[in-house]
Amino acid sequence: MNPTTRASITAVCAAVIAATGFLGVRWLGLALALGMVLFAAGWPELLRVPHRRVSAAVVGLGGLLALATVVMGDSEPYLRYMVIAIAAIVIASLATEIFVPSPAGRAAGAVAATAAGGTIAATGAAWLAAGRTVGAEDLVVASAAAMALAAVASVLTRNGTANAIIAFAVGIGAGAALAYLFDSLPWYAGVLVGGIGAASVVLMNELARREPPATSLWAGIASGVTPVLAVGALVYLGGRLLVG
């Protein structure tokens, strides 16, 4: 999958998070669940895990379990039970090698890839925790919208360094502009989350550049969704520390 397509997937995913975050936590939760499922379907192919269906099940169910712990939380901090989901993902990643062993020499890599994918999926639940944090609702919308714009900006030229600089400039600028529009956001919060979103996009672009391009549609989708899910915890921290 070429960089433009991957960036488009990232932008669409981030835009969906922004739109559903504006509509309310119920729609945001549904969007995150869909994103986790799409991510889980392609992650094992992206990292070339031997038993891909088993790995996808662990990643997907682990992410949905983390999302469920946030949904069922009745008071802040909403991520306090997510550690249970992450522990379950790690244990399940190890257990799958007992019941469905990988080829010789690939077990450690398979466990690491599955556990990492499950952790990324679980981290996406932090978007919902941020959306449920009092005063941080607008931060979710601003963060996701700035990230969508940064993703588009990250493929404007053929020069990777120039793209990175443009992505950071657009992300930070968009975050600051949206903070100006939302009364609940101080300008420095918009700058911070805009920069964080741009950094996530740029890092994924650089990692993808160093690896063979994904030939599978699902692997390409997973690579596009990864930055959006991964940045969820940082947005939540921004909401707790700067706004909520």
- pLDDT digit string, tens, across residues 96-129: 988 888 888 888 999 999 999 999 999 999 999 9
For residues 122 and 67, give the distance between their C-alpha atoms in angstroms, rounded to a whole number.
7
- Per-residue pLDDT averaged across 233-243, rounded? 76
For residues 231 and 198, give the distance between their C-alpha atoms in angstroms, rounded to a whole number.
10
Asked if residue 244 has pLDDT above 70, the reply is no
For residues 45 and 39, give the distance between their C-alpha atoms in angstroms, rounded to a whole number.
10
Q: Please state, for a pLDDT cut of 90, what percent of the chain lies above it.
A: 56
At 187 the three-state DSSP class reads helix
Asked if residue 159 has pLDDT above 60, the reply is yes
CA dihedral 149, 153, 154, 155 (to 10 degrees): 130
Per-residue model confidence (pLDDT) at position 243:
63
pLDDT, one tens digit per residue, over 170-217 is 999 999 999 888 887 888 888 888 999 999 999 988 887 777 766 788
Q: What are the structure tokens assigned to 167, written together?
A: 């992505």
- Per-residue pLDDT averaged across 82-105, rounded? 90
Per-residue model confidence (pLDDT) at position 104:
83
Number of domains in the chain: 1
At 226 the three-state DSSP class reads helix
Residue 24 CB-density burial (10 A; 0-12 exposed, 13-18 middle, 19+ buried): exposed
- Per-residue pLDDT averaged across 137-151, rounded? 91
Per-residue model confidence (pLDDT) at position 2:
80
For residues 214 and 47, give the distance between their C-alpha atoms in angstroms, rounded to a whole number.
10
Give the pTM: 0.91
Asked if residue 225 has pLDDT above 90, the reply is yes
Per-residue model confidence (pLDDT) at position 132:
85
Domain that holds residue 177: 3-243
For residues 117 and 64, give the distance between their C-alpha atoms in angstroms, rounded to a whole number.
13
- Per-residue pLDDT averaged across 56-83, rounded? 89
Asked if residue 164 has pLDDT above 80, the reply is yes
Considering only residues 34 and 130, tell me which one the structure prediction assigns the higher pLDDT.
34
Per-residue model confidence (pLDDT) at position 170:
95
**Residue 215 · residue 2 · CB < 8 Å:** no
Q: Which of 166, 120, 110, 133 is nearest to 240 (CA)?
A: 133
Asked if residue 240 has pLDDT above 90, the reply is no
